[in-house]
Amino acid sequence: MIVAPKIRGFICTTAHPTGCAKHIADQIAVVKSRGPIANGPKKVLVIGSSTGYGLSSRIAAAFGSGAATIGVFFEKPAEAERCGTTGWYNSAAFENEAKAAGLYARSFNGDAFSDAMKAEVIEAIKQDFGQVDCIIYSLASPRRTHPKTGEVFKSVLKPIGSDSYTNKNLNTGTGVVNEVTIEPANDDEIAQTIAVMGGEDWEMWIDALLAAGVVAEGTQTVAYSYIGPEVTWPIYKNGTIGRAKEDLERVQRVLDGKLASIKGKAWVSVNKALVTQASSAIPVVPLYISLLYKVMKAEGTHEDCIEQMDRLFRERLYNGNPQPDEAGRIRVDDWEMAPAVQELVGKRWAEVNTENLAELGDFEGYQSSFLRLFGFGLDGVDYNADVDVNVRVPSLV
């Protein structure tokens, strides 16, 4: 079939298998162009490995460090005339590229929050690895079923406080700069968001892996976060997501204690604002990203997910110089948060409207990045050609 983008709100309901494969190849090329990652990991588990920062982490580890990788995700293959999800095609392409390079790659598709998935992955580690030496936690899900109680939690993107929150927003479908007003979260919504996006499941994974004896001495584990500028704080840092990220940092400190006996280390890495499936859903953030892209591209400091994760592995995790901030977090959002960048973005935020968006922001770049997530708009792909959407992930056959 011929596959074209079908966009509904902040999601694309189609994905192009050939385009996704090209996107993977492009990311691999970035990593390989920078040479091997000295002292990098060799047996890596990536929980949430099919899109965004998790996918780029898997690529950086495999093609920068020659690592064998296990990836966990929840994606859907094609059915009848329906495309598979972008994460399904990404994972198929990654495994094919890894096999061609002589690298071990195995994937698990299902509920990463469940005890059953943890047990299945642990068994695979015992059979194929013995132990892992790096654990990446990069799950982004709107809901979670608690493995012990069966309770279903749902996350919300809301401010916290007694008042509603109003700020500028970008309608990514029309390019119109408007305003959005969001009502504050109640206590139950805050608690549910923490249950989905906080650190409890990360800790459950590490506990299960440690109990099974499959964590090597010196293992590092990393979970991902974002802080951003003050203009986004009401909806992010000081909102429900921010509370969940505070819980992630709490768990990082707990895990440090649990890993100490094997000389391991837990990290929270604060990453740059980028167009991902998760960030596209957050009000206010797409307008900020459009302004940020314009400034950072002009300065030559713009990075996408793969450049961020390559730099995290190459210059922070495995070179002996993690450069933690005062709270113990790794900051690869450092170029984004540079004072000169933020000053200019802040000035443009005050000025931006629909009429001057193209001048002050990079909405075209935002749209291009969004479409690339789903395999569209990549050079060298014939989007008018028939494509077989029934792609297999080799290790899941």
* Residue 136 near residue 44, CB atoms below 8 Å: yes
113/178 Cα distance (integer angstroms): 37
49/61 Cα distance (integer angstroms): 12
Which pair of tokens denotes residue 127? 């059979």
* Residue 147 near residue 204, CB atoms below 8 Å: yes
Closest Cα partner for 200 from 252, 151, 256, 241? 252
Find the helix or strand (DSSP H, E) in which 222 lies. Answer: strand 215-225
283/182 Cα distance (integer angstroms): 9
* Residue 78 near residue 103, CB atoms below 8 Å: no
* Residue 251 near residue 203, CB atoms below 8 Å: yes
Active-site option among 236, 288, 293, 366: 236
Mind giving me the DSSP string for 8-29? ETTEES---HHHHHHHHHHHHH
236 catalytic, yes or no? yes
Tell me the residue type at 97: E
Token pair 């898997």 is found at 58
Dmax over CA atoms of the chain, in Å, equals 59
Closest Cα partner for 186 from 162, 207, 203? 162
Helix 240-259 to helix 187-197 angle, to the nearest 10 degrees?
40
The dihedral through the CA atoms of 83, 51, 291, 32 has a sign that is negative
292/269 Cα distance (integer angstroms): 20
Tell me the residue type at 323: Q
Closest Cα partner for 324 from 335, 315, 316? 316
- Which positions are annotated as active-site residues? 236
